[in-house]
Amino acid sequence: MGILYGISFAIALILALIMTPIVKRFAFVVGAIDKPNYRKVHTRIMPRLGGLAIYIAFVGAVLIALPFIPEGTLRSYDLNMIRAILVGGSIIVIVGGLDDRFELSAKVKLVGQIAAACVVVFGFDVKIDLLNIPFGESMQPVASWLSIPLTILWIVGVTNAINLIDGLDGLAAGVSGIAIATILTMAAIMGFVPVILLCTILLGGVIGFLVYNFHPAKIFMGDSGALFLGFCLATLSMLGFKQVTIVSFVTPLLIIGVPLSDTFFAIIRRWRSKKPIFAPDKGHLHHCLQELGFSHRNTVLIIWGIAALFGGCAIVQSTLIKTHAANWLTFVVICVLTVFLQIGAEMIGIVDKSKRPILDLLFRNRLKAHAESRTK
């Protein structure tokens, strides 16, 4: 299987390298372009629709690889997962491609995302039906009335989270690639063949596209790419709910910690300022880092580093979940990450540039201690 994985990766990589320039020309022909405005960092008209190249590379490599998988390796559930990603991903790419060309409303895109999620759940019976919550001794079954909405919410949420961080050259593709590599590593530890194959192929497509998308970008992935990668990550990360002995409920959250946390802070920020949740702004993580003086390229690399940290924590956490005592360690790690996230958010002003409760508390105590030491 190792040879098949390597060949599949190479096929996806080559297809992405070949298709991206073709898609770039196609985007200009059909008018799928991104014009500069006050929210965007680029200063010239850029072609969108780059996600179509990733999609073609992914689907092409999957269809080429499937006939060569040894008979009996894939179970019926595995085949359903592959079909669900192909069919649901096609719906997502169509919706994203139309948005790249015609700029659909947020409600229309949401309907398309829900439709793709429903295809996964109802069409191929792929859903979250087991959870290993922190401090649980074993996997807990999820009631059917909760399983379906939980799965749809997960898919739609993660799909949008990737789309929200797509604001700099190579940012969304790189963060997605790191998350895919994390899932690939965990799947390799588990020996979960279908996820290894799909992640290997998807990673090849993302890397091939990044050749043209890293700063200075020649093409943007657009909603067709951000939504497709988000959809794939949501579906693939659900393996975390399926593998009974090794992965807990929090693992998928860590895998995509950067886009999810950025989305969470964006919701809080917009709620505090009484703006619609889907209203665009310039308060995302990459905007805040650039305001601090970091260059375009360095901002992307910093966020990649944070994503890699989350990915590493997910891998470590998944290997510690076998014992009850390890669950306590997992809980401590999550608490520490949460505190650091809050401190980091306050430092860069991602929610509110004037209110920083934890930093104020820390510095107030430090100043108080300093004043007391001077009076002695």
The whole-angstrom separation of Cα 34 and Cα 32 is 7
Domain that holds residue 294: 2-375
Cα gap 201→223, rounded to integer Å: 20
Which phi and psi angles does 130 have, rounded to 5°?
Answer: -135, 140
Res 147: pLDDT? 82
Q: Are 197 and 11 in contact (CB under 8 A)?
A: no
pLDDT of 164: 82
Burial of 155 (0-12, 13-18, 19+ CB in 10 A): buried
- The 3-class secondary structure across the chain, one letter per residue, is CHHHHHHHHHHHHHHHHHHHHHHHHHHHHHCCEECCCCCCCCCCCEECCCHHHHHHHHHHHHHHHHHHCCCCCCCHHHHHHHHHHHHHHHHHHHHHHHHHHHCCCHHHHHHHHHHHHHHHHHHHCCCCCEECCCCCCCCEECCHHHHHHHHHHHHHHHHHHHHHCCCCCCHHHHHHHHHHHHHHHHHHHHCCHHHHHHHHHHHHHHHHHHHHHCCCCCCCCHHHHHHHHHHHHHHHHHHHHCCCCCCCCHHHHHHCHHHHHHHHHHHHHHHHCCCCCCCCCCCCHHHHHHHCCCCHHHHHHHHHHHHHHHHHHHHHHHHHCCCHHHHHHHHHHHHHHHHHHHHHHHHHCCCCCCCCHHHHHHHHHHHHHHHHHHHC
Q: 241: buried, middle or exposed (CB in 10 Å: 19+, 13-18, 0-12)? A: buried
Those residues whose C-beta lies under 8 Å from the C-beta of residue 62, and which sit 6 or more positions away, are 8, 82, 86, 197, 198, 201
Number of domains in the chain: 1
113 has which bridge partners? none
**By C-alpha distance, which of 101, 233, 106, 103 is closest to 180?**
233
Binding site residue list: 163, 223
The whole-number pLDDT of residue 111 equals 95
What are the φ/ψ torsions at residue 47 (nearest 5 degrees)?
-75, 140
What is the model's pLDDT at position 12?
98
| Annotated binding-site residue numbers for Mg(2+) | 163, 223
List of the chain residues with pLDDT < 70: 37-43, 129-144, 239-250, 277-281, 320-331, 333, 349-355, 357-376
Q: Note the pLDDT of residue 276.
A: 74
